[in-house]
């Protein structure tokens, strides 16, 4: 009984009977209720406003910049690439006194005078346009520093100094192949060349991700909810060989220094495929300093500028007359007459430099570059035949070269020809063409009769190096039957053996080619002082591997000598060809040159 009472007493003063405990429980419940009310307020009543605030303050879309693809030469050497550069700046409000001792080292690293750096650091306020004083939160120190320099800057640990990264296009070879590569300006807009033409492949696709930021604007990676990765641009592989390109640019620099021409071009292409191995113009410019070059210098004159092809055009009437069976290589023409009656009218020829004591064969017309002989071949073809042959060889139409603003040339239809033009056009006058058209007309003979499409892009690769697309040899049309092309090649060898370009002959190799010297039109008249000298050739003639064109516009020769093709272009052709023979290991075809013997080799040969 006593126990029961004691239990009852205990129970009456039980856990819940305490007023304080009830109070505590009530307080807990009130707290929960308060939290509940607040949650309802935040999530239901004030939801719209708060969500929009959070969206503004925390959510962000971060763009991931795609890296522009590289431009490579045929050997994989980098001609254009993208790298990050850092624009370095400072927030003067965040600078600490304890970092002051590192300022001189920072100035040294970024190449800024210490006084200038201190002045920038100390400028903590500025006055805006409305006259209000504002705090400076960002002041630029240098436009561009490299990653390695930036890493060294960060190691100094100066609070408030930081950089913003951006991709910058860089051209490690400077002016090499400038007219082919083009450039990307500071707004990331491609201009000309492969940069412009292949921009679709090169530029890639920027990515983005939706995420959130904390109060210090740092990304909260766990809240990334959407992400589209950036696709880097493809790499474009050119048919250009850097060494070949360098050789011809060196040659052009030499021509420029020695003869100060108005302009000059050298084109080297593969005789079989038509792919360009090198193309250079004088003057040229440094791609990393494109802003300093005038638009004239940036122009790829090999495809934009027109000139009279002169005697290099004589291959057209000759080949066409052979192709149509109107003449043979041994057909003879009197090339010592000043004029000739044709279609009832006397047509005056352009005079030749030499007087011939015998009628010239077709082969001799080519080797001696007779204007009178070429005119008679043109007459054999007739106006329409001559026009048709020129069109067949690609004159008067774009060659299809993909870069730059190619000119189609100037070739009037026969209805617009004057009475004299049947004597002028076969000699390469009254017609205008680009160096590229002249080059590929000769290349049509070297290829065995097919007019090839000039190509510069070999393939497109993705960022892992896999080939996405490969460009193949493309023939525009067949111009000559192969036997005729062979006959032409044989005749053109005569030019370097006994004709106007003996200086182009290379021991052990059959060099076929044609010189050209065209008077320039100055103020509507053909000038006797201003000439375009050229030489277009290929070798080995029996199995052509390379086609080389050298065109020098208005070279200044010592003693006011005329800029004949043989004076400047032919020696340049030979120098380039000899270097390419050793670089590309082109085997001799005639007879091996005398084998050198070196003391170190003893008699072991």
Q: Which is nearer to another protein, 245 or 432 (CB)?
A: 245
How many of the other CB atoms lie within 10 Å of CB of 36?
10
Query: Could you tell me the CA-to-CA distances from 415 to 282, 300, 376, 381 in Å, in that order?
Result: 37, 32, 20, 15
Closest CA to 512 of 537, 530, 535, 529: 537
Q: Which is nearer to another protein, 222 or 466 (CB)?
A: 222
Q: Which of 239, 311, 367, 534 is catalytic?
A: 311
Q: What distance in Å separates the CA atoms of residue 418 and residue 114, rounded to the nearest whole number?
A: 74
Please name every residue paired with 127 in a beta bridge, in sequence order, or none if there are none: 133
Name the DSSP letter for residue 102.
Answer: G
Name the DSSP letter for residue 600.
Answer: G
Q: What distance in Å separates the CA atoms of residue 479 and residue 443, rounded to the nearest whole number?
A: 11
> What DSSP string describes 208-274?
EEEEEE-TTS-EEGGG--EEE--BPPPEEEES--HHHHHHHHHHHHHHHHHH--SEEEEEEEETTT-
Q: How far is the CB of 490 from another protein (least distance, A)?
A: 24
Residue ranges of alpha helices (H) inside 477-585 are 482-497, 570-584
Q: How far is the CB of 492 from another protein (least distance, A)?
A: 22
CB 327 within 8 A of CB 362: yes
Q: How far is the CB of 590 from another protein (least distance, A)?
A: 13
Q: What distance in Å separates the CA atoms of residue 362 and residue 352, rounded to the nearest whole number?
A: 15
- Determine the 3-state secondary structure of 174 from DSSP: coil
136 Rama sector, left if φ>0, alpha if ψ -120 to 50, beta otherwise? beta
Q: Which is nearer to another protein, 71 or 335 (CB)?
A: 71
Determine whether 418 is an active site residue. Answer: no
How many of the other CB atoms lie within 10 Å of CB of 22?
11
What helix, strand, coil percent values describe the chain, rounded to 5? Answer: 40, 25, 35
Q: Which is nearer to another protein, 30 or 119 (CB)?
A: 30
Q: How far is the CB of 369 from another protein (least distance, A)?
A: 28
Q: How far is the CB of 540 from another protein (least distance, A)?
A: 14
Q: Which is nearer to another protein, 316 or 505 (CB)?
A: 505
Residue 261 exposed, middle or buried by CB count within 10 Å (0-12, 13-18, 19+): buried
Q: What distance in Å separates the CA atoms of residue 343 and residue 352, rounded to the nearest whole number?
A: 23
Closest CA to 110 of 157, 148, 164: 148
Q: Which is nearer to another protein, 56 or 148 (CB)?
A: 148
Q: Which is nearer to another protein, 172 or 351 (CB)?
A: 172
Q: What distance in Å separates the CA atoms of residue 378 and residue 431, rounded to the nearest whole number?
A: 14
Q: Which is nearer to another protein, 6 or 220 (CB)?
A: 220
Residue ranges of alpha helices (H) inside 276-418 are 295-298, 301-304, 315-323, 362-368, 371-392
Q: What distance in Å separates the CA atoms of residue 245 and residue 243, rounded to the nearest whole number?
A: 5
Q: How far is the CB of 146 from another protein (least distance, A)?
A: 6
Q: Which is nearer to another protein, 122 or 148 (CB)?
A: 148
Q: What distance in Å separates the CA atoms of residue 576 and residue 585, rounded to the nearest whole number?
A: 14
Q: Which is nearer to another protein, 243 or 297 (CB)?
A: 243
How many of the other CB atoms lie within 10 Å of CB of 196?
18
Q: What distance in Å separates the CA atoms of residue 169 and residue 176, rounded to the nearest whole number?
A: 15
Q: What distance in Å separates the CA atoms of residue 84 and residue 464, rounded to the nearest whole number?
A: 20
CB 471 within 8 A of CB 458: yes
Q: How far is the CB of 564 from another protein (least distance, A)?
A: 27
Q: How far is the CB of 605 from another protein (least distance, A)?
A: 9
Q: How far is the CB of 13 from another protein (least distance, A)?
A: 10
Q: How far is the CB of 75 from another protein (least distance, A)?
A: 11
Q: How far is the CB of 413 from another protein (least distance, A)?
A: 46
Please name every residue paired with 47 in a beta bridge, in sequence order, or none if there are none: none
Q: Which is nearer to another protein, 462 or 486 (CB)?
A: 462
Residues 6+ apart with CB under 8 A from 188: 167, 169
Closest CA to 274 of 239, 301, 246, 242: 239
Enumerate binding residues for another protein (CB under 8 A): 8, 11-12, 14-17, 21-22, 25, 28, 67, 77-79, 81-84, 146-148, 165, 170, 172-174, 176, 219-222, 224, 242-243, 246, 507-508, 578-579, 581-582, 585, 587-588, 592-593, 595-596, 604
Task: Indicate which residues carry an active-site annotation.
Answer: 311
């Amino acid at each position: 009984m006593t126990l029961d009472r004691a239990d009852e007493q205990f129970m009456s003063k039980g856990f819940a009977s305490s007023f304080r405990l009830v109070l505590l429980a009530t307080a807990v419940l009130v707290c929960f209720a308060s939290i509940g009310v607040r949650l309802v307020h935040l999530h239901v009543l004030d939801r719209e406003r708060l969500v929009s605030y959070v969206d503004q303050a925390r959510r962000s879309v971060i763009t991931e910049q795609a890296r522009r693809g590289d431009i490579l030469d045929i050997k994989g050497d980098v001609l254009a690439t993208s790298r990050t550069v850092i624009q370095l700046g400072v927030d003067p409000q965040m600078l600490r006194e304890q970092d002051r001792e590192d300022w001189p080292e920072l100035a040294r690293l970024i190449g800024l005078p210490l006084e200038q750096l201190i002045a920038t650091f100390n400028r903590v306020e500025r006055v805006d346009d409305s006259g209000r004083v504002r705090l400076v939160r960002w002041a630029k120190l240098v436009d561009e520093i490299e990653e390695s320099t930036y890493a060294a800057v960060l190691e100094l640990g100066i609070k408030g100094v930081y950089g913003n990264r951006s991709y910058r296009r860089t051209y490690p070879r400077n002016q090499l192949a400038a007219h082919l590569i083009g450039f990307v300006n500071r707004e990331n807009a491609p201009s000309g060349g492969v940069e412009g033409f292949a921009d679709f492949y090169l530029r890639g696709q920027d990515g983005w991700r939706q995420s959130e930021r904390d109060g210090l604007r740092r990304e909260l990676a766990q809240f990334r909810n959407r992400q589209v990765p950036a696709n880097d641009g493809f790499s474009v592989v050119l048919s250009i060989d850097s060494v070949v390109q360098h050789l011809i640019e060196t040659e052009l620099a030499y021509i420029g220094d020695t003869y100060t021409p108005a302009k000059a071009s050298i084109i080297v292409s593969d005789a079989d495929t038509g792919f360009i191995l090198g193309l250079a113009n004088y003057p040229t410019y440094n791609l990393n300093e494109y802003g300093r070059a005038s638009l004239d210098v940036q122009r790829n004159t090999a495809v934009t500028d027109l000139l009279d092809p002169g005697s290099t055009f004589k291959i057209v009437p000759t080949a066409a007359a052979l192709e149509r069976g109107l003449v043979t290589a041994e057909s003879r023409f009197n090339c010592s007459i000043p004029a000739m009656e044709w279609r009832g009218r006397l047509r005056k020829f352009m005079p030749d430099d030499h007087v011939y004591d015998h009628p010239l064969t077709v082969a001799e017309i080519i080797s001696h570059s007779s204007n009178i002989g070429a005119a008679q071949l043109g007459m054999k073809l007739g106006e329409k035949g001559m026009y048709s042959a020129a069109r067949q060889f690609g004159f008067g139409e774009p060659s299809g070269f993909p870069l730059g603003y190619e000119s189609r040339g100037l070739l009037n239809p026969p209805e617009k020809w004057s009475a004299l033009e049947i004597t002028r056009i076969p000699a390469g006058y009254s017609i205008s063409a680009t160096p590229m058209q002249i080059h590929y007309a000769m290349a049509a003979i070297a290829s065995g009769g097919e007019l090839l499409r000039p190509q510069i892009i070999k393939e497109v690769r993705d960022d892992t190096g896999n080939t996405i697309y490969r460009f193949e040899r493309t023939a525009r049309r067949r111009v000559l039957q192969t036997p005729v092309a062979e006959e032409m090649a044989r005749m053109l060898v005569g030019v370097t053996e006994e004709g106007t370009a003996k200086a182009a002959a290379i021991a052990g190799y059959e060099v076929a080619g044609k010189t050209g010297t065209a008077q320039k039109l100055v103020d509507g008249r053909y000038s006797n002082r201003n000439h375009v000298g050229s030489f277009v050739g290929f070798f080995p003639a029996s199995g052509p591997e390379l086609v080389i064109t050298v065109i020098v516009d208005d070279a200044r020769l010592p003693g006011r000598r005329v800029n004949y093709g043989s004076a400047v272009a032919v020696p340049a052709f030979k120098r380039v060809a000899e270097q390419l023979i050793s670089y590309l290991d082109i085997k001799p075809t005639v007879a091996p040159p005398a084998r050198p013997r070196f003391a170190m080799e003893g008699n072991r040969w």
